Amino acid sequence: MRSRRLLTIAAALAGLVLTGSTAASAVSDHSGFRPPADSLRTLAAPIGLRMGTAAVPSELAAYGQIIGDQFSVVTPGNEMKWQLVEPTQGTYDWSGGDNLVAFARAHDQLVRGHTLAWHNQLPTWLTDGVTNGTISNDQLRALLRKHVTDEVTHFRGKIWQWDVANEFFTDSTPSQMNPNDFWVSHLGTGILEDVFRWARAADPHAILCYNDYNIGGEDGSNAKADAVYAWAKQALADRVPLDCIGDQGHLDTQYGFSGTLMQQDLQRYADLGLKVAITEADVRTFVNNATDNVPTDHLAVFAQPFEYDQMLKACLFVRQCISFTIWGLTDASSWIPAVFAGEGYALIYDINLNPKPAYTVMQQDLRLASGGAPRRAGTGH
């Protein structure tokens, strides 16, 4: 079944991925930075879509030219997470985030802040204090409020979108807000609404997003998507300052993927009046080893660009989809091999920094979209 599916994809894409790129008019930016005429960011600009990537400082140093040329929005991989910004209680280190903001400004890019409330990558002084009882639930709530307020205030006016809250819902069926989540288990489900109110108070102009995975039918089920949608609808009824839903878009070629289902899910959030964004896209597959990063199934080199194509088209067909971010630049520094044993090949540049077929497919999708896709809705909140 899987082989038949991959053969169909291969036939559909064989001509497309071998087609060379053609020139498009360049975009001249107020910073003086001028990206290539056929870059992803330039091709997406006519319809108002921001193409993005995630990066850590070492990647900005090593791949800065490509990141600047190809993308108009950048997300810090780790540098705005609580563990890094306040490693010692009361002592902040904003340097990583500040440096990324400076890079973005020099390359006429916007910044997606990531992430304010998440169960992972918390400072040990916080988690240890909760575990040993020296931090009560009331104190924990006050600390979270201070963290959100301090970080959003520090970056006020410099962040386009904030991932205010990340991965609060279960993957199980029926899906629900995860009772075992660090924040929910200690502070209750209402904390998810509170963090949005605190973020809005600190920066009235940033776009505030809830961010999660498997909420666009990526896993073949709508259970989690339905749960997040129901929460978002109620949050808006409760006048929570929720502006945006971020669908991470982590895919795997072995499971299949419906771009139509993702488009439908993005559209129903848009119908609530929300903006939507693809925030952490990658498409992994099984590889021979982490060093060579060669797919074990040769048809995966067609399946991977096909799934990127389907994700991007889902975004392009929804006018309120304002950005499409890939979770990294090159397979050489992808997070996938360390988390998914035996898998890799997830990004659009290979380990030698050569653009892969997925890059070419997305480039052509954007070129075609400039002649017919709807221009994005307003990009402020």
What is the Cα 246 distance to its own chain's centre?
7
Told to judge if 79 belongs to the known catalytic residues of this protein, a careful annotator would answer no
Contact 331, 287 (CB under 8 A): no
Could you list the beta-strand ranges (E) of the chain. 50-55, 73-76, 110-117, 161-166, 207-212, 244-247, 250-252, 275-286, 321-326, 343-344
From the list 86, 151, 167, 307, the catalytic residue is 167
Question: Which residues 6+ apart lie within 8 Å of 38 measured at CB?
Answer: 21, 22, 23, 24, 363
Q: How many CB atoms lie within 10 A of CB 291?
A: 11
Residue 155 CA to residue 94 CA, distance in Å, equals 9
Residue 294 CA to residue 307 CA, distance in Å, equals 18
Give the CA distances from residue 313 to residues 259, 275, 325, in Å, rounded to whole numbers and listed in that order: 7, 16, 13
DSSP letter assigned to residue 335: S
Q: Which two tokens stand for residue 335?
A: 């997070």
Residue 245 CA to residue 224 CA, distance in Å, equals 13
From the list 59, 151, 280, 307, the catalytic residue is 280
Of 103, 7, 118, 24, whose CA–CA distance to 60 is shortest?
Answer: 103
Residue 355 CA to residue 365 CA, distance in Å, equals 15
Give 174-222 as a DSSP string: S--B-TTSHHHHHH-TTHHHHHHHHHHHH-TTSEEEEEESS-SSTTS--
Give 60-121 as a DSSP string: HHHHHHHHHHH-SEEEESSTTSHHHH-SBTTB---HHHHHHHHHHHHTT-EEEEEEEE-SSS
Beta strand pairing call for 275-286 and 343-344: antiparallel
Could you identify the residue written with the tokens 């659009």? 348
Q: How many CB atoms lie within 10 A of CB 137?
A: 12
343 forms bridges with which residues in the sheet?
286
Told to judge if 280 belongs to the known catalytic residues of this protein, a careful annotator would answer yes
Provide the annotated active-site residues.
167, 280
